[in-house]
Structure 1
Amino acid sequence: MAEPGQERETVVLEEGDIFFLYRPRVEEEHPSSIGDVQRFEMVLRPHGGEKVRLLVVGRKRLPEAERHERHWGFVEAIRHSAKGIEKELRERRYDTGTRGERRRPAARPAGEGVYAITLEDGQMHLSYALELPEKPGQVQKAFKIAPEASYALSIKNPEKGKPVNAGLREEDEADYPEKLQEEFRGRRFAREDVGLLDFKGAEFILIGARSNPESEYGHDLGAEHENYEHAETIRRLRMVKSRHPVKPLLEGGWA
């Protein structure tokens, strides 16, 4: 850790586009509160990278930075393009043995911006700044999507067990190659290697750290105001309004 009065050492590990999304509960056509939501998700699209990550965040919202909340999450899918991730977010229909056909609604975009994963004195931090919506609304407030925030990011060692009734099943956890598994060095969490997120089933902890990361860490995230025409959610994730209601992204209201 840095001594009092010393500047903290910041190393940028990764930068890219970040997208926040929510998926309504099965058969919920018109969600109007977080109680109508099944999952809260994030997509990380690194600049110049070959992998795009779809992450699920526990408690269906981001941790509050000021309260230093801790939220668990996991990597749901890894794809080689943003278009491939969008297919995971579409409406699904499936048959059940007792209730007939069921419908899982498509995900709704709730925010987009830019992010950086930095290493601060041996601890990774995920920081972001919103570009859309221009003014956060009731949806962003429900999911605690602030205009900007930073979280300490630690990745769980799948060989160290888990608390009772918590985390993924053993068969769903990340299966790391031996070389990457060594990154944990026998610890419960790794805090330095962002590459550990590049595996389906990777589990992580986000801890609220800062509400003003750009000024606190001295790193300009490069956020710019966007509109529908230039929205990365539409251009990169192909989340057109014919499949995904975009009102939460543009106006901050439920859809």
Structure 2
Amino acid sequence: MTTTRSSAKAESSPKKESGEAAGAKHELDTKTTPASKRSKKDDGMKQQTIDDTIPSPTEAYGNGKNQSPTNGDKKDENQKQNGAETENKVDQQDSAEQEGAREGVVPSNILEKGIIYIFIRGRVGIDEPSSVSDIRRSYFVLRPLAKDAKLGEGTIDDAGNSRLIAIPKKVFPVSGRDRWIAFVEKSHTSFKTLKDEFLAAEDYTTKTAGVRHSPAATPVAEGIYAITSTGRENHLAYMITLPEDLGEVQKEIGLKEKGSFIISTRNPQYEAPKGTALPQGPDYPKEVFDGFRALRWTATEPKHLDYPNTQFLLIGESSGLEKATEPQKDQKEDQEKPIEELEKLEDEDTHRMEGLQGDDSAAIFADLHARAKEYPKLQTTF
């Protein structure tokens, strides 16, 4: 269903932390040799339910040390989409991303920040899911911003650095008991590629069932995100901008107005947990492989997400943003607290999206340099 926007969302305080986390290493089993990579990619593969071979939250936090910031927002100027048409006629030569505006004030434990778009896709032949069981898979798109940037008016530029992340379990984890693997389906991706190869519906022919219809991706939310490090683990924190009030769909798939996940990257040199193997592993350079050392899992860094087929563990956090935005002891006095940076970015995004013409769907697709009338409306109810 279509949603409309009104005034900016009132800020709510993060929930108090519940539960306890520990940072423990998951070291090499010397009796087991690393498994070789798969060699053939199959975009149509299906990921089964993950069993108890997934590590527990205390086993999947990597080496227990703070990760150094990485440049996950490097732009590929050759992939910019100049002159793309948008429904609201925003001048796309003037990007809302204003680099350098917060130079020196962003805390070092924010490794990356940006815009997040969340989509669902119905099962074959189901254009409008009427329950979670009708969803084939959920996805989110991460579009990194420069770490020192702020958001102004209008749409963001297409820097060709977006990542498409697939969640085979359909819903997001909501507590520490929920842990499952997501994977990078596309990286270094332009908005044009997302439109052509992800957002659009597709009809295809099979030998056994004839013509099959894969529905278009349906937007369910837009907001801001940050990848943060708290010393023992890394987190993916987010704040939802659209819709202003979460509907049935958003709540059923596990979204919160403000939420976070612990994220740990799987070392592809070892055999995947049962039922989660991809036909092909990520093509990591030696630098990334060396970072795993003897670990099966390590805290997810932005650079890990720049390689298709990267698999990373999502562990739900019931404490909202509290753990994900803990300030570090060595933080400089002139730097903001992580939660302050996220709140400023969310406020900027709220005003930016309200300034775009049309309803929530039009604003989201305009930001992706697409025409909303060619795609499904933002869905809030089943």
Question: Where on the TM-score scale, by shorter chain, does this alignment land: which range?
Answer: 0.7 to 0.9
1:105-124 map, 5 Å = 105-124=215-234
- Asked whether the equivalents of residues 91 and 105 of structure 1 are also in contact (C-alpha less than 8 Å), the reply is yes
Letter in 1 for 2:261: Y
TM-superposition CA deviations, 1:81-106 (whole Å, max 9, x none): 23322322211111111222111000
For the residue of structure 1 that corresponds to 2:112, the secondary structure is: strand
1:17-56 map, 5 Å = 17-48=115-146, 50-56=160-166
What TM-score, normalized by structure 1, do the two folds share?
0.86
Letter in 2 for 1:236: D
Q: Provide the rounded CA distance (Å) in 1 between the counterparts of 2:210 and 2:241.
A: 41
Identify the residue that residue 373 of structure 2 maps to in structure 1. 242
1:130 equivalent to 2:229? Answer no
Identify the residue that residue 186 of structure 1 maps to in structure 2. 294
- What's the offset of the Cα at 1:176? 0.7
1:16 equivalent to 2:114? Answer yes
- What's the offset of the Cα at 1:175? 1.7
Identify the residue that residue 271 of structure 2 maps to in structure 1. 161
For the residue of structure 2 that corresponds to 1:140, the secondary structure is: helix
Structure 1 residue corresponding to 2:180, chosen from 60, 71, 81: 71
Identify the residue that residue 5 of structure 1 maps to in structure 2. none
- Gaps of at least 5 residues in structure 1 are 3-7
- Asked whether the equivalents of residues 181 and 276 of structure 2 are also in contact (C-alpha less than 8 Å), the reply is no
- Asked whether the equivalents of residues 300 and 312 of structure 2 are also in contact (C-alpha less than 8 Å), the reply is no
Identify the residue that residue 208 of structure 1 maps to in structure 2. 316
Q: Provide the rounded CA distance (Å) in 2 between the counterparts of 1:80 and 1:36.
A: 28
Mean Cα deviation higher: 143-152 or 237-246: 237-246
The runs of at least 4 consecutive aligned structure 1 residues that moved more than 4 Å come to: none
Structure 2 residue corresponding to 1:139, chosen from 240, 249, 266: 249
Q: Provide the rounded CA distance (Å) in 2 between the counterparts of 1:122 and 1:50.
A: 32
- CA-based RMSD of the aligned residues comes to 2.4
For the residue of structure 1 that corresponds to 2:109, the secondary structure is: strand
Cα–Cα, structure 1 residues 118 and 15, in superposed 2: closer, same or farther, change >3 Å?
same
For the residue of structure 2 that corresponds to 1:144, the secondary structure is: coil
Mean Cα deviation higher: 215-224 or 20-29: 215-224
Letter in 1 for 2:283: D
For the residue of structure 2 that corresponds to 1:205, the secondary structure is: strand
Cα–Cα, structure 1 residues 180 and 114, in superposed 2: closer, same or farther, change >3 Å?
same
For the residue of structure 2 that corresponds to 1:20, the secondary structure is: strand
For the residue of structure 2 that corresponds to 1:106, the secondary structure is: coil
Cα–Cα, structure 1 residues 132 and 94, in superposed 2: closer, same or farther, change >3 Å?
same
TM-superposition CA deviations, 1:20-68 (whole Å, max 9, x none): 1000011113321111110100100001465210001131111013x44
Q: Provide the rounded CA distance (Å) in 2 between the counterparts of 1:13 and 1:91.
A: 35
What TM-score, normalized by structure 2, do the two folds share?
0.59
For the residue of structure 1 that corresponds to 2:259, the secondary structure is: strand
Q: Provide the rounded CA distance (Å) in 1 between the counterparts of 2:112 and 2:288.
A: 18
- What's the offset of the Cα at 1:70? 0.8
- Asked whether the equivalents of residues 27 and 103 of structure 1 are also in contact (C-alpha less than 8 Å), the reply is yes
1:98 equivalent to 2:208? Answer yes
Q: Provide the rounded CA distance (Å) in 2 between the counterparts of 1:240 and 1:34.
A: 27
Cα–Cα, structure 1 residues 70 and 10, in superposed 2: closer, same or farther, change >3 Å?
farther
- Gaps of at least 5 residues in structure 2 are 1-21, 24-65, 67-106, 147-158, 327-337
Higher RCO structure, 1 or 2 (CA under 8 Å, sep 6+): 2
Cα–Cα, structure 1 residues 163 and 247, in superposed 2: closer, same or farther, change >3 Å?
closer
Letter in 1 for 2:381: G
Letter in 1 for 2:111: L
Identify the residue that residue 151 of structure 1 maps to in structure 2. 261
Q: Provide the rounded CA distance (Å) in 1 between the counterparts of 2:371 and 2:252.
A: 23
